[in-house]
């Protein structure tokens, strides 16, 4: 009897890497899984693996960045398994360049897949869950978004990716606040793991250890938190961003109002400098941008 028995999960970008591990772990805990990936063969291979282990899964290759095609994903999930209870927004791409060398396409492609990709399915399901709750049907739903350390602390050469991931963290806070009344909980992850997006950029750091040693960057290490967040057991947790890697789970502390000074009147430009210097001296320093 798994902690996700009777629940249906849609996972985007689930044909490999983190998404694949999430799909396998959800299925092992009793969930029916819609494995969405633009590479249909990859999605089907994950489904075949789940079914071989006795689970239920459906492969889907529809585009997550358009409302009409995202609706097809939701419809396919309902046709196969009934209600949808959990959405894991995992799909993403990288177009890494220094900011001064970045092109318009580099920017737009990353924003489309990450940020718009997080919007379309979430919006469709949020509407359905809201309408169900208003009609008196109990809702116990989850949105699990994917942010990144690049979005929380910044990362040299990833201004497009980091900006999208920072926006996703903020989106999670607003989803949590707005949808709580309808029985929906929204949280986000900032995972560190070996995937097709990271294994080349961080090859030395994320290389597999010697046989028998704990593989800190194995993407399977992230899956237990994701599955728990998708289960009924996480009903009291919403609006959080979790950093996770290896055996470490951390709750990220976001932007908050820090030290302040109030002159009680308009500042003269020449007076601002000393006031800012005092504020910065009193404030807790931000984590350094990765790579700086």
- Non-local (6+) Cβ contacts of 23 within 8 A are 9, 11, 14, 33, 35, 46, 50, 57
Q: Catalytic annotation on 155?
A: no
CB neighbour burial string for 95-105, b if at least 16 within 10 angstroms, e if fewer: bbeeeeebeee
The catalytically annotated residue of 161, 217, 231, 234 is 161
| 161: annotated active-site residue | yes
Contacts of 155 (CB under 8 A, 6+ apart): 148, 149, 161, 162, 289, 290, 291
217 a catalytic residue: no
Measured distance CA(262)–CA(42) in Å, rounded: 58
Instruction: Say whether 225 sits in a helix, a strand or coil.
Output: helix
Candidate list 147, 148, 155, 234, residue with the active-site label: 148
Q: Which of 159, 165, 217, 231 is catalytic?
A: 165
Q: Burial letters for 244-274: b for 16+ Cβ neighbours within 10 Å, e otherwise?
A: bbeeeeeebeeeeeeeeeeeeeeeeeeeeee
Residues recognised as catalytic: 148, 161, 165
């Amino acid at each position: 009897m798994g902690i996700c028995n009777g629940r249906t999960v849609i996972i985007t970008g689930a044909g490999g890497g983190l998404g694949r591990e999430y799909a396998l772990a959800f299925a092992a805990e009793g969930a029916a899984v819609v494995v969405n990936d633009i590479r249909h063969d990859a999605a089907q291979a994950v489904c075949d693996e789940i079914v071989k282990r006795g689970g239920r899964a459906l492969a889907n290759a529809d585009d997550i960045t358009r409302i009409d095609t995202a609706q097809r994903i939701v419809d396919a999930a309902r046709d196969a398994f009934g209600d949808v209870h959990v959405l894991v927004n995992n799909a993403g791409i990288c177009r890494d360049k220094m900011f001064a060398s970045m092109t318009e396409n580099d920017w737009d492609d990353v924003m489309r897949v990450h940020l718009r990709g997080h919007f379309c399915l979430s919006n469709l399901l949020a509407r359905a869950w809201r309408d169900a709750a208003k009609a008196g049907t109990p809702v116990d739903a989850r949105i699990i978004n994917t942010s990144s350390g690049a979005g929380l602390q910044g990362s040299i050469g990833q201004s497009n990716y980091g900006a999208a991931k920072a926006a996703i963290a903020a989106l999670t806070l607003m989803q949590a606040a707005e949808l709580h009344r309808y029985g929906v909980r929204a949280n986000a992850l900032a995972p560190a793991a070996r995937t097709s997006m990271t294994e080349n950029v961080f090859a030395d750091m994320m290389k597999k250890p010697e046989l028998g040693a704990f593989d800190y960057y194995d993407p399977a290490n992230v899956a237990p938190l994701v599955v728990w967040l998708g289960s009924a057991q996480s009903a009291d947790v919403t609006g959080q961003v979790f950093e996770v890697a290896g055996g470490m789970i951390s709750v990220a502390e976001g932007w908050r109002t820090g030290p302040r000074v109030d002159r009680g009147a308009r500042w003269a430009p020449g007076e601002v400098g000393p006031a800012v210097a005092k504020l910065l001296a009193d404030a807790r320093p931000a984590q350094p941008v990765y790579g700086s």
